[in-house]
Structure 1
Amino acid sequence: MKSNLVKVAATLAVLAFTSGSALAQSAVDMIKPASIQAKNVVLVHGAWADGSSWAKVIPILQKAGLHVTAVQNRLTSLKDSDEDVRRALAQQDGPTVLAGHSWSGTAISDVGNAKNVSALVYVAARAPEAGEDFVALQKTFPDTPVRAGVEKFDGFTKVSEDAFLKYFANGIDKDEARVYYAVQQPTAASLFGERTTDTAWKSKPVFYAVSAEDKTISPEFEAFLAKRMGAQTITLDAGHLSMVSHPQEIADLILKAAGRK
């Protein structure tokens, strides 16, 4: 079964890369819904962001009848972020889809084996294996321009305004992108090198949204991770913040993971 999903993921990725957002939407339609119907969705934000990055996806999921929680997870350590996500999961009554963007793919991989998690959704996200040197793995793929704009201070990092607008929030209206720049959360410099102790994507249904125009995590790396997980995959003609520029497609993927479409 998992090998078949890998083949589907690879095929859909190629189609979407060559044909753009319209085919990406049809790719969502081709994906089979998860077998367990979820009642809840827990959304986890990535580095240099906060829960508002899910603001356009949330009302779509709520309108579909799902109970939605956007975690304001700390970016001070993996342990802290894991605790925040576990706390949110513990408050859910019934099957829950756990979705993570960017760095938070690390956290959902680490805590996603919670009993009430019915499926995992990765949005332009990391997806480490337990104990893996993920930084070393990422270096085997093309570098991205956002890295030149990462500024360090007091053990934390942020993305400069120029790099944020050009690369982190590419594909988004500049005025809107400035709002996300204003709410970006300082991220511990040590966070990116921390290693997980669990690999939830090996035992849960997995869905992945690749961003073909990503300037923060290379699209090639995202496609590799999706294939490695055997994820049901779509590829969007989007930058790193695809849940902002393509909220309907991301919401539709989450609804598939929730067994709702």
Structure 2
Amino acid sequence: MSSDPTVVLAHGAWADGSSWSKVIDQLEQTGVRVLAASLPLTTLAGDTEALDRALEHVGGPVVLVGHAYAGGVLGGVTAPNVKALVYVAALAPDEGETVGDVFGRGTPHPQAPALAPDSHGLIWLPDEAFAAAFAPNATAEEQVRLRALQRPISGACITVPVNRPRWRGVPSWYLVTEQDRMIPAENQRFMAERMGAEIRVHDVDHTPSVTAPGVVSDLLREVVAKVKANQA
């Protein structure tokens, strides 16, 4: 088994692993092994278990990456092979907080969508929100694809207080997205600074894996190189 780190990517709400496709291509082209984990988005515990199973499958050292909601999932993993955490416009609740607590912190962007569960307790992103807030810098075709592939998130994922988060003991990086209309940059900076993360700030929207994949890939290659150097 290679000792080189594998980058494990965790998608957020209203997305699936395909949202990382451009980042996967760029990393693989430079020799970085990648796995996009699939989260069921049904309960926070279930998502954490699914991600831990993916980490067990990888086996070797991991740079674990989460977008948006997945930041809350990253905080709960227990797999010992996680060597670094990377938050991409991601939510980082502290002990006793819920994902919803940190998502709702501060003043929302004027174009942020109104969200409410349906009769099954599932929260869907309104169709128009993909262009207005989720990925405004994406092409029209990409926005249509994101809408068509969206997966709703259960309210049960965002209402459960978390335990002591993993970022308290693992080196962490945070990519702040200045144009974000879903999680305002001010809120992201608050979480990143509280984490003690290494912060990178870019003038991109909420979903840079689609709209600015080079920004994400460059950061991940930087983190992979640091993990490798620390293991040498």
User: How large is the Cα RMSD of the aligned pairs?
Assistant: 1.8
Q: Which residue number in structure 1 is paired with residue 42 of structure 2?
A: 76
Q: Which residue number in structure 1 is paired with residue 210 of structure 2?
A: 244
Q: Which residue number in structure 2 is paired with residue 232 of structure 1?
A: 198
Q: Residue 249 of structure 1 aligns to which amino acid in structure 2?
A: V
Instruction: Please give the alpha-carbon distance, in whole angstroms, between the structure 1 residues aligned to 2:85 and 2:161.
Output: 19
Moved over 4 A (4+): none
- Higher RCO (CA-CA < 8 Å; seq separation 6+): 1
Instruction: Please give the alpha-carbon distance, in whole angstroms, between the structure 2 residues aligned to 1:197 and 1:136.
Output: 14
Q: Which residue number in structure 2 is paired with residue 206 of structure 1?
A: 172
| Structure 1 contact 54–243 (Cα < 8 Å) conserved | yes
Instruction: Please give the alpha-carbon distance, in whole angstroms, between the structure 2 residues aligned to 1:204 and 1:252.
Output: 20
Q: Which residue number in structure 1 is paired with residue 27 of structure 2?
A: 61
1:42 aligns with 2:4: no
Match of 1:126 among 55, 76, 91: 91
The alignment partner of 2:83 has SS state of: strand
| Structure 1 contact 39–67 (Cα < 8 Å) conserved | yes
User: Which stretches in structure 2 are left out of the alignment for 5+ residues?
Assistant: none
Pair 1:156–1:66, CA change in 2 (3 A): same
The alignment partner of 2:35 has SS state of: strand
The alignment partner of 1:130 has SS state of: coil
Match of 1:90 among 56, 75, 100: 56
Q: Residue 76 of structure 1 aligns to which amino acid in structure 2?
A: T
Instruction: Please give the alpha-carbon distance, in whole angstroms, between the structure 1 residues aligned to 2:98 and 2:53.
Output: 27
Q: Which residue number in structure 2 is paired with residue 143 of structure 1?
A: 108
Equivalent pairs counted in the alignment come to 224
Instruction: Please give the alpha-carbon distance, in whole angstroms, between the structure 1 residues aligned to 2:41 and 2:95.
Output: 19
| Structure 1 contact 95–118 (Cα < 8 Å) conserved | yes
| Structure 1 contact 158–185 (Cα < 8 Å) conserved | yes
1:209-245 deviation per Cα after TM superposition (whole angstroms, max 9, x unaligned) = 1111111111100011111111111111111101111
The alignment partner of 1:167 has SS state of: helix
Q: Which residue number in structure 1 is paired with residue 138 of structure 2?
A: 172
Q: Percent identity?
A: 35
Q: Residue 207 of structure 2 aligns to which amino acid in structure 1?
A: L
Q: Which residue number in structure 2 is paired with residue 10 of structure 1?
A: none
TM (norm. structure 2) is 0.90
Pair 1:162–1:123, CA change in 2 (3 A): same
| Structure 1 contact 212–238 (Cα < 8 Å) conserved | yes
